[in-house]
């Protein structure tokens, strides 16, 4: 099947939260900075490049981060400021296209197949976007340019920070072949582990697998893995307004069959959904729990609220209740997922920003 010819740019701000803090407080410039709480259960939300040199990364427990980098400076997150910078970045994007799909506050896909300012190439558009972002916010972004979302995302990561990299169609396969599976967009920790246990470490090894075999191992995602390993990604850029749901799911390496072990996984999934909802500044009325059984049968159970919710407590406790109502002894579960839908994307709530940092 012929693919639609697209020009896609993936824009990703460099060490976003940390760079904003360094911009606004010159004393932090050039120093290892972690945005997040230093308390016992705190987690690093973002690390400056100086901190990354010590091995500090986002999502790392703050206690671990302090050990790796003794001089690490913890800064409280200021989500209102990040959101306002995010709005500035989006106003730059909109000068070029309305087809913008945000992945988080500081990251988005842009379809510039048609661009409003009639620049000749997508690369010129990317150069200009970077320039205007720098001018408007004082911050640097990295941009990746290619023919689909998958490749554009690889490209933006390639020369970070302040990078601009173009993956042309004839270079694409070589990039994919060499890409470690954990860097594949859409491959989470569990999937990466499973791939490695199957002897798949990079794109080249993934490409050796047939679509049937990948679907057998990974379900629906197997088809996506097959496509991208072979350089095909026909997914369109879906703009914010069209987004229908926000979710996260986990496939277990070993099937789970107790309510307790499933509940343990559920809170992690709820945390991931909450974080995505918060990054997109969204909220939704319906929470859906998805359960896939060892035999690949799948069921969903939903609960709707009268007003949109976005907080961890509502998401987790609803999903947990649905799980308890559904679970029966003897069930063997291979995947759990939570989705928030009936979205209200203009929700401006600061309560939801009260994250566990």
Binding footprint of Mg ion on the chain (CB under 5 A)? 12-13, 16, 106
CA dihedral of residues 96, 153, 57, 106 (deg, nearest 10):
20
Strand pairing report for 141-146 and 8-13: antiparallel
DSSP 336: E
* Contact status, residue 177 vs residue 30, Cβ threshold 8 Å: no
* Rg for the chain, CA atoms, rounded: 21
Indicate the residue whose CB is closest to Mg ion: 12
Catalytic site residue 107? yes
Tokens read off for 315: 């998401």
Least Cβ distance, residue 110 to Mg ion (angstroms): 15
Least Cβ distance, residue 52 to Mg ion (angstroms): 12
Q: Which residues contact residue 349 at a Cβ distance below 8 angstroms, ignoring those fewer than 6 apart?
A: 283, 310
Sheet holding 73-75, edge to edge: 44-47, 33-36, 73-75
Q: Which residues contact residue 234 at a Cβ distance below 8 angstroms, ignoring those fewer than 6 apart?
A: 3, 4, 148, 227
Q: Which listed residue (21, 50, 107, 271) is catalytic?
A: 107
327: left (phi over 0), alpha (psi -120 to 50) or beta: beta
Least Cβ distance, residue 4 to Mg ion (angstroms): 27
> Please, which residue, 13 or 85, has the CB nearer to Mg ion?
13
b/e for 269-302, b at 16 or more Cβ within 10 A?
Answer: bbbbbbbbbbbbbbbbbbbbbbbbeeeeeeeebe
> Please, which residue, 163 or 284, has the CB nearer to Mg ion?
163
> Please, which residue, 140 or 257, has the CB nearer to Mg ion?
140
> Please, which residue, 160 or 285, has the CB nearer to Mg ion?
160
CA dihedral of residues 316, 321, 326, 332 (deg, nearest 10):
40
> Please, which residue, 12 or 249, has the CB nearer to Mg ion?
12
> Please, which residue, 79 or 218, has the CB nearer to Mg ion?
79
Sign of CA dihedral 5, 105, 300, 308: negative
* Contact status, residue 186 vs residue 206, Cβ threshold 8 Å: no
Q: Which residues contact residue 1 at a Cβ distance below 8 angstroms, ignoring those fewer than 6 apart?
A: none
Tokens read off for 298: 């799948």
Tokens read off for 82: 């990040």
Sign of CA dihedral 233, 109, 105, 63: positive
> Please, which residue, 12 or 320, has the CB nearer to Mg ion?
12
Neighbours of 47 (CB within 10 A): 27
Q: Which residue's structure tokens are 């994307």? A: 345
Catalytic annotation, residues? 107
């Amino acid at each position: 099947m012929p693919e639609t010819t697209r020009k896609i740019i993936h824009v990703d701000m460099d060490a976003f939260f940390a760079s904003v803090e360094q911009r606004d407080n010159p004393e932090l410039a050039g120093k290892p900075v972690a945005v997040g709480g230093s308390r016992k259960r705190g987690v690093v939300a973002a690390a400056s490049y100086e901190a990354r040199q010590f091995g500090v990364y986002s999502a790392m427990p703050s206690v671990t981060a302090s050990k790796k980098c003794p001089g690490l400076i913890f800064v409280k997150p200021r989500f209102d400021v990040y959101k306002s910078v995010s709005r500035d970045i989006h106003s730059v994007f909109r000068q070029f296209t309305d087809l913008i799909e945000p992945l988080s506050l500081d990251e988005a896909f842009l379809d510039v197949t048609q661009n409003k300012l009639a620049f000749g190439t997508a690369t010129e558009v990317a150069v200009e976007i970077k320039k205007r972002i720098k001018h408007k916010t004082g911050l640097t972004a990295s941009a990746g340019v290619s023919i689909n979302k998958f490749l554009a995302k690889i490209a933006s990561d390639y020369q970070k920070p302040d990078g601009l990299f173009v993956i042309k169609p004839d270079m694409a396969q070589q990039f994919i072949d060499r890409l470690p599976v954990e860097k594949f967009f859409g491959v989470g920790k569990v999937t990466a582990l499973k791939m490695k246990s199957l002897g798949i470490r990079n794109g080249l090894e993934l490409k050796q697998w047939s679509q049937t075999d990948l679907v057998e191992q990974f379900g629906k995602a197997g088809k996506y893995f097959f496509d991208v390993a072979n350089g095909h990604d026909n997914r369109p850029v879906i703009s914010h307004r069209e987004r229908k749901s926000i979710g996260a799911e986990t496939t277990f390496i070993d099937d789970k069959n107790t309510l307790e072990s499933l509940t343990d996984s559920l809170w992690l999934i709820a945390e991931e959904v909450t974080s995505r909802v918060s990054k997109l500044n969204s909220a939704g009325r319906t929470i859906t729990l998805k359960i896939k059984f060892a035999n690949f049968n799948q069921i969903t159970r939903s609960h709707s609220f009268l007003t949109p919710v976005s907080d961890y407590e509502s998401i987790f406790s609803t999903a947990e209740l649905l799980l308890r109502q559904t679970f029966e002894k003897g069930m063997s579960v291979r995947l759990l997922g939570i989705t928030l839908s009936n979205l209200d994307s203009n929700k401006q709530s600061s309560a939801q920003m009260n994250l566990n940092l």
